[in-house]
């Protein structure tokens, strides 16, 4: 049995086949469906739980030469599960060790789910009211993660799943996640075009300023239909050029999140109290009282 401390939580997990209980084999509990995508850490498949037909997301992770990187997602999601989870964070339903190969995670999958990248690609720039609805849920989910000692480190449109029926969102893919700490990080496995200037310049960053910078890029992406920076020199310039008509309040929040100096960026709590966020609360309440429908 191995242990890792994440915040105030001690998470245990087995890295061999010896266990105090016998888990039913994967094949007797789940059906593996089509490949949904693949990346550096593993692959993602559609799946179904056999006992009740629940649609799930199956995510493989390969062992690497380092000590625990392939299991960090398992650890992060176990922490979330241990404290009851959050509506805006994907929920882990089960996990299996594939002997000598890595881990297979069983995650919830919204029946009408679509990642935010495809959602924006199909529809173009989002109305600010809808962007605000998504953004608030994402920030609340990140507050939950930080409060329980987890930093995601790869917030981007591809790692947000939208339920197109309810317009609820979930943060997914914790493959770049890590225990939250107050001291700087010197490694980064996220997406470079979402990384902050301090990483480009000095290969160092802190958890909250990194997260907030990524949120600024994400919000720009939602309201303009594309990310603000593609090249390192543009990231370091930290001067987004708005390609669409965006309200002054929304621009203000984006520019604040994309402040060059990490210490000048807002906290997650300050984001939630920004006038643009507060100005949309009445509209969101009105929307939530309407019957759910797909866009």
pLDDT single digits (tens) 89-148: 999 999 888 776 678 899 999 889 999 999 999 999 999 999 999 999 999 999 999 999
pLDDT over 90 for what percent of the chain? 67
Of 108, 140, 166, the last residue of a domain is 108
CATH code where residue 18 lies: 3.30.200.20
Closest listed residue to residue 4, CA positions, set 219, 150, 168: 150
Between these two residues, 10 and 240, which has the higher pLDDT value?
240
pLDDT above 70: percentage of residues in the chain = 82
Same domain (yes/no): 152, 274: yes
List the catalytic residues: 154
- Between CA 94 and CA 78 the distance in angstroms is 10
Residues 256 and 136 in one domain: yes
What digits encode the pLDDT tens for the residues 218-236? 999 999 999 999 999 999 9
Would the annotation count 108 as a binding residue?
yes
Instruction: For residue 38, say whether it is annotated as part of any ligand binding site.
Output: yes
Q: At a CB cut-off of 8 Å and minimum separation 6, what does 216 contact?
A: 240, 253, 254, 255, 256, 257, 258, 265
Q: Is 37 annotated as a binding residue?
A: yes
Residue 295 lies in a domain: no
Judgement on whether residues 280 and 184 belong to the same structural domain of the protein: yes
Is a pLDDT exceeding 50 seen at residue 290? no
| Full domain range(s) for residue 206 | 113-288
At 63 the pLDDT is 53
Instruction: Determine the straight-line distance between the first and last CA of the chain, rounded to whole angstroms.
Output: 47
200 and 96 in a common domain? no
On whether residue 50 sits in a domain, the answer given is yes
The domain boundary, picked from 92, 108, 124, lies at 108
Cα gap 266→57, rounded to integer Å: 34
pTM for this entry: 0.84
Q: Is 141 annotated for ligand binding? A: no
Task: Judge whether 40 is annotated as a binding position.
Answer: yes
35 burial via Cβ count (<10 Å: 0-12, 13-18, 19+): exposed
Contact (Cβ atoms closer than 8 angstroms) between residue 108 and residue 56: yes
Domain count, the chain: 2
Question: Residue 281: which pLDDT band, with cuts at 50, 70 and 90?
Answer: low
In this structure, are 175 and 133 located in the same domain?
yes
d(CA 115, CA 224): 17
Please tell me whether 115 is known to bind a ligand.
Answer: yes
The confidence score (pLDDT) of residue 237 equals: 98
What is the b/e burial string over 60-98, where b = at least 16 CB atoms within 10 angstroms of the residue's CB? bbebeeeeebbbbbbbbbbbbeeeeebebbbebbbbbbe
Euclidean distance between CA atoms 201 and 197, whole angstroms: 6
Strands (E), the chain: 2-6, 9-13, 30-38, 43-49, 55-62, 92-98, 102-108, 113-115, 150-151, 160-163, 168-171, 178-179
124 belongs to an annotated ligand binding site: no
Residue 70 has pLDDT above 80, yes or no: no
118 is known to lie in a ligand binding site: no
Lowest mean pLDDT among 13-17, 114-118, 187-191, 283-287: 13-17
3-state secondary structure of 54: coil
Instruction: Please indicate if the annotation marks 42 as binding a ligand.
Output: yes
User: Is 190:153 a contact under the CB 8 Å cutoff?
Assistant: yes
Is 145 annotated as ligand-binding? no
Q: Dmax of the chain from CA atoms?
A: 59
End-of-domain residue from the set 51, 86, 108: 108
pLDDT band, residue 152 (cuts 50/70/90) = very high
Burial, 263: exposed, middle or buried (Cβ in 10 Å; 0-12, 13-18, 19+)? Answer: exposed
Instruction: Identify whether the C-beta of residue 218 lies closer than 8 Å to the C-beta of residue 138.
Output: yes
The residues, ordered by sequence, that sit 6+ positions from 29 with a Cβ below 8 Å of its Cβ are 49, 50, 51, 94
Do 41 and 176 share a domain, yes or no? no
């Amino acid at each position: 049995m191995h242990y890792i401390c994440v915040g105030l939580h001690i998470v245990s997990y087995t890295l061999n086949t010896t266990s105090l209980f016998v888990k039913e084999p994967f094949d007797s509990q789940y059906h593996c469906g089509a490949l949904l995508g693949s990346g550096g850490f593993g692959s993602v498949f559609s799946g179904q739980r056999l006992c009740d037909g629940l649609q799930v997301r199956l995510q493989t992770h390969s062992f690497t030469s380092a000590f625990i990187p392939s299991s960090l997602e398992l650890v992060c999601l176990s922490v979330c599960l241990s404290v009851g989870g959050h509506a805006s964070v994907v929920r882990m339903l089960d996990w299996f060790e594939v002997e000598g190969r890595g881990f297979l995670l069983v995650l919830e999958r919204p029946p009408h789910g679509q990642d935010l990248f495809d959602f924006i690609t199909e529809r173009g720039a989002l109305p600010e009211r809808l962007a605000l609805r998504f953004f608030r849920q994402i920030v609340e989910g990140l507050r939950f993660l930080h409060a329980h000692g987890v930093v995601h480190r790869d917030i981007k449109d591809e790692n947000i799943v939208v339920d197109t029926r309810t317009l609820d969102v979930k943060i997914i893919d914790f493959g770049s996640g890590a225990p939250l700490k107050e001291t700087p990080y010197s490694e980064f496995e996220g997406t470079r075009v979402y990384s902050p200037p301090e990483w480009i310049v000095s290969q160092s960053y802190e958890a909250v300023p990194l997260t907030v910078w990524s949120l600024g890029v994400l919000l720009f992406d939602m309201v303009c239909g594309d990310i603000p920076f593609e090249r390192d020199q543009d990231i370091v310039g930290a001067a987004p050029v708005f390609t669409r008509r965006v309200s002054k309040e929304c621009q203000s929040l984006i520019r604040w999140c994309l402040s060059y100096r990490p210490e000048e960026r807002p906290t997650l709590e300050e984001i939630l109290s920004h006038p643009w966020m507060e100005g949309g609360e009445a509209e969101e309440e009105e929307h939530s009282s309407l019957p759910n429908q797909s866009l």
